[in-house]
Amino acid sequence: MANNEDAFKKVVSHAKEYGFIFPSSEIYDGLGAVYDYGQLGTELKNNIKNYWWKSMVQYHENIVGIDSAIFMHPKIWKASGHVDAFNDPLIDNKDSKKRYRADVLIEDHIAKIEDKIKKEVEKAHKRFGDAFDRDQFVHTNARVLEHQAKIDEITKRYSQCMNDNDLVGLRQLILDLEIVCPISGTRNWTEVRQFNLMFATQMGSVSEGSDTIYLRPETAQGIFVNFLNVQKSGRMKIPFGIAQIGKAFRNEIVARQFIFRMREFEQMEMQFFVRPGEELKWFEYWKAERLKWHLALGIPADKYRYHDHEKLAHYANAATDIEFEFPFGFKELEGIHSRTDFDLSRHSEFSGKKLQYFDSELGENYTPYVIETSIGVDRTFLAVFSHALKDETLEDGSTRTLLSLPPVLAPYKAAILPLVKKDGLPEKAREIFDQLKHDFMLQYDEKDAIGRRYRRQDAIGTPFCITVDNDTLETNTVTVRERDTMQQERVAIDELDVYLHKRIKPIAIN
Ligand code: ATP
């Protein structure tokens, strides 16, 4: 595709045109950073959730899943630190009147310098061909070293400001880096202020007697406050995990980048409870394990990278992000955090209930430490969808739009297509549809020439097209066309079940 911006526009328009994602309340001109999933988007999203749930809960004997309420006692957010510290630093440009996250302005600036390094590397790679040694180049080339030194210096100042909550220093850094507003092009910035991201609402009848409650900004707290319930009722032994998928809400300052940053979104989180002192070992374990989960989808490894945090959240003693190369660059897709005993200790303190575990092997009581893995459903959607969407030129010069989704995530696993609308082919096709529909999401399509039907399925990511032709009636076989290679093979109708199951499975994990 022409460039990244065009590619991203194409992602947004394709998602809408084919019923994956619509802007929320569109007939009323939409609502900022809120989106609705359409008929195909819902299937893809459910498949992402199933893929995660299976690999976490079904494949691990010591992980169970829950579904806690979105409304929770307001004290929970005091205890968790969200009322006091779940803030983003915001800054306004006085000329354009546009609002930005101060930290994002700085991170974008760093990303631009990283881009320059990437370009130097690409240029050198072209020049030296196969003999090119990337490692040696980035450690010796003067220009690259200069860029890297700049990045290191900015990162150091930036982390210091964030850790010390130094808003004046943050603003000074923006001025020193000569960062301009992308709209007005000026450096006329306001002070930096903190902005709390939680949505508040009232529970109970109006005014007196009603309580301010918050829409949860993460699903994790629903797990912590149920720690004892699950541990006791499930007779769970440490180490063990509790998983949850659910909605979270954040009043994000800047609404942009489609479903990357939404105000209502969904998270898939797992809290893994371990012995104190063993948390860093488990942190490394989950860091590796979670990357494997992504790679099992078959997306190339160079689209992912770890980003270890310099600035740690108030509760963490180690943290890393798994970043994905979205059309707008590498950005966080998943966070893996070592949350210490912060949450359970705070909830013990605020609720007056002892949230501890008796370890019969050690013969002692302790507050477990926690490793969290936290991933956005919508960001995963955007990652797989944007990577899958391609315009392809075929050997005969014609073009097709292809959505090469991992088969396990594709909305429809197969399309059942009678070659023509006569000679008993539609009836046979319907029979096959009924035979397979209990196990697979299928689409039946008999309209238009077969070539056009194939293209329609390519564009919505259906991995297999099953065509019923005149031979089918005599031989009880069909043609199966594979989406990405467009290769066709003859398969017996009786074997379709096994054939599809085998090919839809992701690369084995765990
Ligand atoms: P960012 O730095 O991008 O704001 P974060 O560090 O605040 O993200 P976490 O609090 O670690 O994010 O949340 C865990 C995961 O939830 C993220 O990795 C992301 O996939 C998802 N997520 C967080 N905020 C949003 C949002 N506004 N829209 C969609 N997904 C989100």
- Tens of pLDDT, residues 404-417: 999 999 999 999 99
Return the residue matching tokens 């003859």: 490
The response to whether residue 388 sits with its C-beta less than 6 Å from ligand 1 reads no
The response to whether residue 333 sits with its C-beta less than 6 Å from ligand 1 reads yes
- The confidence score (pLDDT) of residue 211 equals 80
- The confidence score (pLDDT) of residue 508 equals 59
The response to whether residue 273 sits with its C-beta less than 6 Å from ligand 1 reads no
CA 154, distance to chain mean position in Å, is: 28
Give rounded-to-5 percent helix, strand, coil for the chain. 40, 25, 35
For residues 370 and 340, give the distance between their C-alpha atoms in angstroms, rounded to a whole number. Answer: 5
Hey, whose CA ends up nearest to atom 18 of ligand 1?
Answer: 334
Hey, whose CA ends up nearest to atom 13 of ligand 1?
Answer: 374
- The confidence score (pLDDT) of residue 212 equals 86
The response to whether residue 469 sits with its C-beta less than 6 Å from ligand 1 reads no
The response to whether residue 250 sits with its C-beta less than 6 Å from ligand 1 reads yes
The response to whether residue 376 sits with its C-beta less than 6 Å from ligand 1 reads yes
Hey, whose CA ends up nearest to atom 31 of ligand 1?
Answer: 376
- The confidence score (pLDDT) of residue 1 equals 42
Q: How far is the CA of 252 from the centre of ligand 1 (A)?
A: 10
The response to whether residue 267 sits with its C-beta less than 6 Å from ligand 1 reads yes
The response to whether residue 335 sits with its C-beta less than 6 Å from ligand 1 reads yes
The response to whether residue 374 sits with its C-beta less than 6 Å from ligand 1 reads yes
Hey, whose CA ends up nearest to atom 4 of ligand 1?
Answer: 261
The response to whether residue 246 sits with its C-beta less than 6 Å from ligand 1 reads no
**Complete DSSP assignment for 46-103:** HHHHHHHHIIIIIS-TTEEEE---S---THHHHHTTHHHH-EEEEEEBTTT--EEEHH
The response to whether residue 332 sits with its C-beta less than 6 Å from ligand 1 reads yes
Hey, whose CA ends up nearest to atom 11 of ligand 1?
Answer: 335
Q: Alpha-carbon Rg of the chain, whole angstroms?
A: 26
3-state secondary structure of 356: coil
Query: Which of 258, 379, 382, 384 to mutate for ligand 1's pocket (most ligand atoms within 8 Å of CB)?
Result: 379
Tell me which residues of the chain have a pLDDT lower than 70: 1-3, 205-210, 311, 314, 507-510
> What does the DSSP 8-state code read for residue 301?
G
- The confidence score (pLDDT) of residue 85 equals 87
Q: How far is the CA of 376 from the centre of ligand 1 (A)?
A: 6
The answer to whether residues 173 and 159 touch, using CB atoms and an 8 Å cutoff, is no
227 closest CA partner among 27, 41, 370: 370
Q: How far is the CA of 262 from the centre of ligand 1 (A)?
A: 9
The answer to whether residues 307 and 42 touch, using CB atoms and an 8 Å cutoff, is no
Return the residue matching tokens 């032994």: 237
The response to whether residue 458 sits with its C-beta less than 6 Å from ligand 1 reads no
Residue 96 burial by Cβ neighbours in a 10 Å radius (0-12, 13-18, 19+): middle
The response to whether residue 334 sits with its C-beta less than 6 Å from ligand 1 reads yes
For residues 157 and 160, give the distance between their C-alpha atoms in angstroms, rounded to a whole number. Answer: 5
Cis peptide before 418 (omega within 30 of 0): no
Q: How far is the CA of 76 from the centre of ligand 1 (A)?
A: 20
The response to whether residue 18 sits with its C-beta less than 6 Å from ligand 1 reads no
Q: How far is the CA of 142 from the centre of ligand 1 (A)?
A: 36
Hey, whose CA ends up nearest to atom 25 of ligand 1?
Answer: 261
Hey, whose CA ends up nearest to atom 21 of ligand 1?
Answer: 376
